[in-house]
Structure 1
Amino acid sequence: MVVAAYATLRSLSHVLTNLQHPARLHRLHVDTNRIQSLQETVQFLLDFLDAHSQRISEEIGVLGRQIADAAAEAEEVVDRHVVDQLRFRSEEESHCMAALSSFSQDIDKLTGQLDSLTKELTKVVKEEWAVDAQEEQCIVSVPVKSPEVLPSSGKKTIMVGFDEDLEQILDKLTRDEPDLHILPIVGMGGIGKTTLAQNIFDHPYTVHYFPKRIWLTISQECSVRELLSSLLDNGKEQESNQTLAELGQRLYQSLFGERYLIVMDDVWSVEAWNDLKLFFPNNSKGSRVMLTTRESSLAKSLGSQESYLLDFPNEENSWNLFYQETFAQKDCPYPELEEIGKNIAKSCNGLPLTIVVLGGLLANSNMTREYWESVAKDVSTFRTSKDYEGCLKILSLSYNNLPVYLKPCFLYMSVFPEDSKICVSRLTRLWIAEGFLKPIRGKSLEEVAEKYLRDLIDRNLILSLEFKIDGKLKECGIHDLLRDLCLTEYEKEHFIYAPKVQRVDACSVKDMCFMCGLGTSLQRIDLNEVHDGSQLTSLASVLVCNTCKNTYPSLNKARVVRTRLVKILGRPREVESLHPTSLRYLQMVDVTLYEFLYPSTIALLWNQQTFEIFSFPPYSKISLPYVMWDMPQLQHFIGSAHFILPKEATTQDFDIMKNLHTLFGMRNFRCTEEVLRRIPNLNKLGIYYDKENEIEWTYYCLYNLVRLQKLESLSIEAYNLRLENLTFPTLLKELCLKGCNIPWEKIMTVGSLLPNLGKLVVESNYFEEHEWNQVEGDFPRLKFLKISNSHHLTRWRAENIHFPNLEILFIEFMLNLEEIPAIIGDIITLHSIYFKSCEGPVIDLAKQIVEEQQRTYGNEILQLYINGERYQVGSY
Structure 2
Amino acid sequence: MAEAAILAALKVTGDVLASELAEIVVSHTSNIGLTFASLKSSINNISRELRVMKGYLDEMKTDDEDSKSQAAWIQEVQKLANHIEDIVAEFVHLVGNNKFDGISFYVRTMVKKPKVFIALKKIASELSEIEKSLKHLAELKERWVTKNTKIRKNLDYSNEYSHIGAVSAHFIDEDNIVGIEENRIVLTNWIIGKKPQLCIISVWGMGGVGKTTLVTNVFKRERKNFDCHAWVSISQSYTIENILRNIISEMCKHEHNIPIDTTNMDLRGLKENLTDLLKEMKYLIVLDDMWDPKAFLDIRDTLIDNHRGSRIVITSRMAEVANLARETKRLELKPLSKKESWNLFCRKAFHLEKNYECPPSLEKWAREIVSKCDGLPLALVSLGGVLSLFDKIESEWKRVYDQLSWELDNNSSLGPLKNILIQSFHYLPRYLKNCFLYCGLFPEDSLLARKRLIRFWVAEGFIEQKGRSTLEEVAEGYLQELIHRSMLQVVEKNSSGRVKRCRMHDTLRELAIYLCRKENFGLLQKNSKTVNFNTSIRRLSIVKLREEINHDVHLPQLRTFMSFDPTVPSSLLISLILDKSRYLAVLNLEGLLIKTVPDEIGDLFNLRYLGLRGTKVKLLPKSIGKLNNLQTLDLMNSQIQKVPDGIVELKKLRHLFAQVRVDPTYRTFRALAGISLPKGIVYLKELQTLQALESNAIIVRELGNLTQLRSFRIMNVKENYSAELCRSLSKMSSLSYLSIYASNENYLLQLEGLKFPPQLQKLTLFGRLKEQMLKSPLFQNSGEGIQTLRLGWSQLQEDPLPSLSHLKNLTWLDLQKAYNGTKLNFKAEWFPKLKYLSLRQMPNLVQVEMEQGTMVILEMIQLWELEQLVEIPKGIEHLINLKWMVCKYMPAGFGELASGIHQLFHFRCHVIQVAADTK
CA shift for structure 1 position 862? 5.3
User: Secondary structure in 2 aligned to 1:440?
Assistant: coil
Does residue 50 in structure 1 map to residue 58 in structure 2?
yes
Q: Is the CA contact 2:637–2:658 (under 8 Å) kept in the aligned structure 1?
A: no
Does residue 117 in structure 1 map to residue 261 in structure 2?
no
Separation (CA, whole Å) in 2 of partners of 1:275 and 1:547: 56
Does residue 410 in structure 1 map to residue 439 in structure 2?
no
CA shift for structure 1 position 677? 6.5
One-letter code of the match for 1:867? K
Partner of 2:530: none
Separation (CA, whole Å) in 2 of partners of 1:678 and 1:26: 32
With normalisation by structure 2, the TM-score equals 0.58
One-letter code of the match for 1:760? L
Partner of 2:180: 161
Which of the residues 694, 709, 718 maps onto 2:742?
A: 718
Partner of 1:729: 757
CA shift for structure 1 position 492? 0.6
One-letter code of the match for 1:217? E
What pairs with 1:150-549 in structure 2 (closer than 5 Å)? 160-162=179-181, 192=336, 195-196=339-340, 198=342, 216-217=362-363, 219=365, 266=384, 268-269=386-387, 274-275=392-393, 389-496=415-522, 521-525=547-551
Separation (CA, whole Å) in 2 of partners of 1:861 and 1:611: 40
Q: 1:469 to 1:272 in 2, by over 3 A?
A: closer
Which of the residues 704, 717, 726 maps onto 2:728?
A: 704
Partner of 2:12: 15
Q: Deviation per CA, 1:468-524, whole angstroms, max 9, x where unpaired?
A: 11111001011111111111111110124999xxxxxxxxxxxxx998697754314
Which of the residues 625, 633, 651 maps onto 1:631?
A: 651
CA shift for structure 1 position 273? 5.3
Separation (CA, whole Å) in 2 of partners of 1:48 and 1:221: 33
Partner of 1:559: 582
One-letter code of the match for 1:602? I
User: Secondary structure in 2 aligned to 1:826?
Assistant: coil
What pairs with 1:530-679 in structure 2 (closer than 5 Å)? 557-559=580-582, 576=598, 579=601, 580-590=604-614, 598-615=620-637, 620-626=640-646, 628-632=648-652, 634-640=654-660, 642-648=674-680, 657-658=685-686, 660-668=687-695, 675=702, 678-679=705-706
Separation (CA, whole Å) in 2 of partners of 1:451 and 1:609: 20
Separation (CA, whole Å) in 2 of partners of 1:19 and 1:498: 33
Q: Deviation per CA, 1:196-246, whole angstroms, max 9, x where unpaired?
A: 1547999xxxxxx999996943649999xxxxxxxxxxxxxxxxxxxxxxx
Q: Deviation per CA, 1:734-763, whole angstroms, max 9, x where unpaired?
A: 101122x11344234343221111010112
User: Secondary structure in 1 aligned to 2:752?
Assistant: helix
Separation (CA, whole Å) in 1 of partners of 2:752 and 2:25: 46
User: Secondary structure in 2 aligned to 1:471?
Assistant: coil
One-letter code of the match for 1:161? I
Q: Is the CA contact 2:658–2:675 (under 8 Å) kept in the aligned structure 1?
A: no
CA shift for structure 1 position 704? 2.6
Separation (CA, whole Å) in 2 of partners of 1:211 and 1:52: 31
CA shift for structure 1 position 781? 0.8
One-letter code of the match for 2:8? S
Q: 1:218 to 1:490 in 2, by over 3 A?
A: farther
Partner of 1:340: none
User: Secondary structure in 1 aligned to 2:511?
Assistant: helix
User: Secondary structure in 1 aligned to 2:764?
Assistant: strand
Does residue 867 in structure 1 map to residue 896 in structure 2?
no
Q: 1:592 to 1:731 in 2, by over 3 A?
A: same
Q: Deviation per CA, 1:417-454, whole angstroms, max 9, x where unpaired?
A: 22322111111111222222233223221122111111
One-letter code of the match for 2:840? E
One-letter code of the match for 2:868? G
Q: 1:608 to 1:773 in 2, by over 3 A?
A: closer
Separation (CA, whole Å) in 1 of partners of 2:555 and 2:507: 40
Which of the residues 857, 864, 875 maps onto 1:829?
A: 857
One-letter code of the match for 1:763? G
CA shift for structure 1 position 587? 1.1
One-letter code of the match for 1:494? N
User: Secondary structure in 2 aligned to 1:476?
Assistant: strand
Q: Is the CA contact 2:441–2:541 (under 8 Å) kept in the aligned structure 1?
A: no
CA shift for structure 1 position 88? 4.4
Partner of 2:709: 682
Q: Is the CA contact 1:217–1:266 (under 8 Å) kept in the aligned structure 2?
A: no
Q: 1:783 to 1:58 in 2, by over 3 A?
A: same
One-letter code of the match for 1:196? E
Q: Is the CA contact 2:760–2:785 (under 8 Å) kept in the aligned structure 1?
A: yes
Q: Deviation per CA, 1:271-290, whole angstroms, max 9, x where unpaired?
A: 765558xxxxxxxxxxxxxx
User: Secondary structure in 1 aligned to 2:635?
Assistant: strand
Separation (CA, whole Å) in 2 of partners of 1:211 and 1:525: 62
Partner of 1:755: 784
CA shift for structure 1 position 111? 3.7
User: Secondary structure in 1 aligned to 2:455?
Assistant: helix
Q: Is the CA contact 1:687–1:716 (under 8 Å) kept in the aligned structure 2?
A: yes
Partner of 2:274: none
With normalisation by structure 1, the TM-score equals 0.60
Q: 1:8 to 1:805 in 2, by over 3 A?
A: same
CA shift for structure 1 position 66? 2.2
| Structure 1 runs not aligned, ≥5 long | 134-158, 167-186, 203-208, 224-264, 277-290, 295-356, 358-384, 500-512, 531-542, 563-572
Separation (CA, whole Å) in 2 of partners of 1:394 and 1:550: 38
Structure number with greater Rg is: 1
User: Secondary structure in 1 aligned to 2:642?
Assistant: strand
Q: Deviation per CA, 1:536-568, whole angstroms, max 9, x where unpaired?
A: xxxxxxx99699999999986312899xxxxxx
Q: Is the CA contact 2:658–2:674 (under 8 Å) kept in the aligned structure 1?
A: no
Separation (CA, whole Å) in 2 of partners of 1:755 and 1:82: 47
Q: Is the CA contact 1:748–1:778 (under 8 Å) kept in the aligned structure 2?
A: no
Separation (CA, whole Å) in 2 of partners of 1:86 and 1:201: 56
Does residue 41 in structure 1 map to residue 63 in structure 2?
no
Q: Deviation per CA, 1:814-872, whole angstroms, max 9, x where unpaired?
A: 3333233423862212222112333432x6232x432x327xxxx25454222399965
Q: Deviation per CA, 1:162-199, whole angstroms, max 9, x where unpaired?
A: 46999xxxxxxxxxxxxxxxxxxxx99x9859641547
Q: 1:272 to 1:110 in 2, by over 3 A?
A: closer
One-letter code of the match for 2:690? L
Q: 1:627 to 1:105 in 2, by over 3 A?
A: farther
User: Secondary structure in 1 aligned to 2:415?
Assistant: helix
Counting aligned pairs with the same residue, the percent is: 20
Q: Is the CA contact 2:342–2:367 (under 8 Å) kept in the aligned structure 1?
A: no
Which of the residues 3, 7, 21 maps onto 1:6?
A: 3
CA shift for structure 1 position 386? 6.2
Q: 1:123 to 1:386 in 2, by over 3 A?
A: closer
Q: Is the CA contact 1:780–1:803 (under 8 Å) kept in the aligned structure 2?
A: yes
User: Secondary structure in 2 aligned to 1:717?
Assistant: strand
User: Secondary structure in 2 aligned to 1:844?
Assistant: coil
Q: Is the CA contact 2:599–2:622 (under 8 Å) kept in the aligned structure 1?
A: no
Separation (CA, whole Å) in 1 of partners of 2:26 and 2:653: 19
User: Secondary structure in 2 aligned to 1:417?
Assistant: coil
Does residue 60 in structure 1 map to residue 70 in structure 2?
yes
User: Secondary structure in 1 aligned to 2:757?
Assistant: coil
Does residue 799 in structure 1 map to residue 827 in structure 2?
yes
Q: 1:39 to 1:47 in 2, by over 3 A?
A: same
User: Secondary structure in 2 aligned to 1:474?
Assistant: strand
Q: 1:415 to 1:404 in 2, by over 3 A?
A: same
Partner of 2:239: none
| Structure 2 runs not aligned, ≥5 long | 28-38, 110-115, 153-177, 186-211, 214-333, 347-354, 370-382, 401-407, 526-538, 557-565, 586-594, 661-672, 890-894, 905-919
Separation (CA, whole Å) in 2 of partners of 1:636 and 1:488: 34
Separation (CA, whole Å) in 2 of partners of 1:610 and 1:808: 32
